[in-house]
Every structure is written in C-alpha cells, then in structure tokens.
Amino acid sequence: MIRRVKVLFISSGMCCLLQSYVVHADPVDTTVVKMLSVPSAMKQLESDGYYDFRMIKIERKHNEIAVKARNRVGDSVELEMDLYSGIILHEKTHGEEIQ
C-alpha cells in the first residue's frame, strides 16, 4: 500500500512539473502576415504615380521588392518597397537617394 502512494505522489508531481512547462512555454504567434503579390504592388505603385515598370524583383532575403519605373515627372527611378507593408523604403533618381 505504501508503494502505491509513492507512485501516485510521483505521478502527481510529474503532472505539476509538466503543467509548469506548459504555462511558461514560448507563445506561438498565430497572426499570419501575407506578403504583397506583384500585381498588388504594381497597383499600389500606380496609385502613387509610378508607371512604365521595367523590372520588379522580389528579394525575400531582405523582405523587399525592387522596382525600376518612372515617377510622376517621368524620371527613371529605382524603388525598394517593403514586401509586407508596401511602404517605399528607398527611391533613387539618377544616382541620388530620396527617402
């Protein structure tokens, strides 16, 4: 009878130990952020006044979309756009960077 009590005590101790690990486990982020598709990125850039897209390159390593296009005034520009938010991070015109 004493052995059964000891086994029961160890089992309940293990349950408490496992529960403490579950409570203090790293949280899992369940929000999923979708990256922009090329057509949606082009639509967004067109609404900002860019046109005549020459190159669109997705750079997943840097979470960016690189684009060569023309701005509202017709200057040739190189853009770096955030892959997830669509924010234009950098704009280069004739070798000069505009932020």
Q: Is the pLDDT of residue 89 over 80?
A: yes
Overall average pLDDT of the 86-98 stretch? 81
Distance CA 44, CA 40 (A): 6
73 has pLDDT over 80: yes
Q: Which of 73, 41, 53 is nearest to 98 (CA)?
A: 73
Residue 46 has which token pair? 């067109």
- The reported pLDDT for the residue numbered 34 is 85
Model confidence pLDDT, tens digit, residues 18-68: 455 555 556 665 566 788 888 999 999 999 999 999 999 999 888 999 999
Look at residue 33 in the predicted model and tell me its pLDDT. Answer: 73
81 CB burial (10 A radius; 0-12, 13-18, 19+): buried
